[in-house]
Amino acid sequence: MTRADHRAVVTGGAGFLGSHMCERLLALGYSVVCVDDLSTGAPDNIRALSRFPAFEFIQADVCAGLDVTGPVTEVLHLACPASPRDYLRLPLETLRVASIGTQHALDLAARHRARFLLTSTSEVYGDPLVHPQPESYWGNVNPVGPRSVYDEAKRFSEALTVTYRQQHGLDTRIARIFNTYGPRMRGDDGRMIPTFITQALADAPLTVAGDGGQTRSLCYVDDTVDGLLALLTSFDVEGPVNIGGGAELSVLQTARLVIGAAGSSSGIVFVPRPEDDPSLRCPDTTLAAQRLGWQPRITLDEGLRRTIRWFAESRAAASEPVR
């Protein structure tokens, strides 16, 4: 089977990561069906893809069912609010899409005997007691805390995916994605990088939670897509597999890097730290390197430069008068 014979369904395909995945699959010769209810995704993210004859967009809620006519060879389940601001604003919707929505996506793959890829998250590790976090670590999650609507939802979606593999012989893959950033993130979605960049471009103070000592490991979106595709096309790697950046930085260090990269005069202010905010976040990517031959290629300096440029251009375009 050649790539031209592949027809992939991407749920959440109009979101930040989903739109990059759709774009890459099209460039590789796949036909792509993008399914999104646009609750957190945006039509602008996929507008340029509509010129491809091999691209189809279906506006639909995967929790209401997922019935795609015609052949399906892969189902990539990316649908789910991913930023704290979104999943705290949409807690029940987040729980439903990771449970009912995941089941519908798995059922679609089962009907077509398609390969299934679940994008899980580093949040399944919670506030980790093991560092860096290997796939064998079970995590330290507060099941009744405010973040549980996302953390526990993703843990359930992993369990459901594994059960479909065991009970139905479905060909499944599970990726645990760490902090991904890049163009097409919403400036108001509440995640660290878009928040810092939006503030820096406005020369406004960057809001750092707590004392800024908590750490994150950032991965540019192109590298994340590379890792997901390496897992999707692997012969026998089921996962979970960590996909994330290797450079661990404190939030305060990251804020200073963004200010410098943006050429901003912004200062830094400290704000209260959210409840259950993880203190440490760094993936052990040994498995991805050994089994998939994958590791991040884009340096943080280069990734920030590309992302800041996109935000600056979007900001300039939004300020142009309508003619």
pLDDT at 316 over 90: no
Q: Is 215 helix (H, G, I), strand (E, B) or coil?
A: strand
> Residue 317 falls within a domain, yes or no?
no
Q: Among residues of the chain, what percentage have pLDDT more than 70? A: 98
Q: How many beta carbons lie within 10 A of that of residue 320, not counting itself?
A: 7
Half-sphere exposure of 40 (CA within 13 A, CB side): 30
> Residue 106 falls within a domain, yes or no?
yes
Quote the DSSP letter at residue 133: B
> Residue 202 falls within a domain, yes or no?
no
- Cis link prior to 132 (omega < 30° from 0)? yes
Of 145, 124, 295, 132, nearest to 216 (Cα)?
132
pLDDT score recorded for residue 120: 98
Look up the domain containing 228 and give its range: 3-178+221-244+282-297
pLDDT score recorded for residue 2: 60
**Contact 244/283 with Cβ under 8 angstroms?**
yes
pLDDT tens digits along 3-13:
669 999 999 99
pLDDT score recorded for residue 318: 79
Q: Which residues are catalytic?
A: 150
> Residue 323 falls within a domain, yes or no?
no
Count of structural domains within the chain: 1
> Residue 212 falls within a domain, yes or no?
no
CATH number where 12 lies? 3.40.50.720
The mean pLDDT of 31-60, rounded to a whole number, is 97
Which residues, in sequence order, are CB contacts of 270 under 8 Å at separation 6+?
207, 208, 209, 210, 211, 212
Rounded CA-CA distance 101/75 in Å is 12
> Residue 310 falls within a domain, yes or no?
no
Query: Tokens in use for 4?
Result: 């031209």
> Residue 289 falls within a domain, yes or no?
yes
Whether the pTM exceeds 0.85: the reply is yes
pLDDT tens digits along 211-233:
999 999 999 999 999 999 999 99
**Contact 63/39 with Cβ under 8 angstroms?**
no
pLDDT score recorded for residue 246: 82
> Residue 191 falls within a domain, yes or no?
no
Query: Tokens in use for 88?
Result: 């705290």
